[in-house]
Amino acid sequence: MSDSTETRTSWLSGDDLEVVRGQVPLVYVEAVPVRVDGAGRVVDVGLLLRVRPDGTISRTVVSGRVLHGELVRDALLRHLEKDLGPVALPRLPQTPAPFTVVEYFPDPSVTGYHDPRHHAVSLAFVVPVDGDCQPSQEALELTWLTPGEAIREDVRSEMTGGHDRLVRLALAHCGCLP
C-alpha cells in the first residue's frame, strides 16, 4: 500500500524557484576537483568550461543546489557525477567538511562573489577524483591544469563570479598555492 500523504518534493517549479530566490538564500555545494599524487599532493585542478545563463562562456568548478531533505554529501556526489560523469570516482569522506563557505550576492560589491540571480550560501570542498572524467550536462569540457596554470592571469580571466578567488583559496587550503 502506498502512502498517499507523502507531499515532499525536492524540486520547485520555475516560478516558485524565482519567488524563493528573491526572498531566501539558497544552499549550494561547490567542488574543486583535483588529481593527487601518491603522497596526496595536488598535481592537477579540474576546471569546467560551460555556457552561463547569459550566454557567455566561462571556466568554473562543480556547483549546484542542495535539495530539500538531501544530505550535503549526497548533493556533492550528485553534482560531481552530473558534471564529471558517472565514473569520475570522487573520494569523499563519510562526513565531508567544507574548506570555506562562500556567499554569492546579486551585487558583486558585497563579497566579491557574484550571482546575478540571488543570494546563495555555498559550502566549498576540494575533492580528489581518481576515475575517468567526462563532462556532461551543461559542461562543454573539463581541463586539467597544474596549480600554477590554474592561477595564471589568462585562466583567471576566464572565470566569473569569484570562482578565480575560490580556486586560489582551494589551492591555499591544500598548501599548493604557487
Helix (H) or strand (E) holding 73: helix 72-84
What pLDDT, on a 0 to 100 scale, did the predictor assign at position 91?
96
Q: What is the pLDDT of residues 125-147, one digit of tens each?
A: 999 999 999 988 678 899 999 99
What pLDDT, on a 0 to 100 scale, did the predictor assign at position 142?
95
Domain span at 162? 23-173
Is residue 16 in a domain? Answer: no
Is residue 100 in a domain? Answer: yes
Q: What is the pLDDT of residues 57-101, one digit of tens each?
A: 999 999 999 998 999 999 999 999 999 999 999 999 889 999 999
pLDDT for residue 102 is more than 70: yes
Q: Indicate the pTM of the whole model.
A: 0.87
Three-state secondary structure call for residue 82 = helix
Position 3 confidence tier, pLDDT thresholds 50, 70, 90: very low
Higher-scoring residue by pLDDT: 10, 113: 113
pLDDT for residue 49 is more than 90: yes
What pLDDT, on a 0 to 100 scale, did the predictor assign at position 4?
44
What pLDDT, on a 0 to 100 scale, did the predictor assign at position 138?
75
Is residue 45 in a domain? Answer: yes
Is residue 127 in a domain? Answer: yes
Place of cell 544552499: 27
The three three-digit cell numbers of residue 152, written as one number: 595564471
Instruction: Answer whether 64's CB lies under 8 Å from 28's CB.
Output: yes
Place of cell 562543480: 62
Q: What is the CATH number of the domain that holds 92?
A: 3.90.79.10
Instruction: Answer whether 167's CB lies under 8 Å from 150's CB.
Output: yes
Is residue 57 in a domain? Answer: yes
Is residue 91 in a domain? Answer: yes
Indicate the average pLDDT of the chain. Answer: 90
With a pLDDT cut of 70, the percent of the chain lying above it is: 92
Number of domains composing the chain: 1
With a pLDDT cut of 90, the percent of the chain lying above it is: 74
What pLDDT, on a 0 to 100 scale, did the predictor assign at position 98?
98
pLDDT for residue 31 is more than 50: yes
What pLDDT, on a 0 to 100 scale, did the predictor assign at position 5?
44
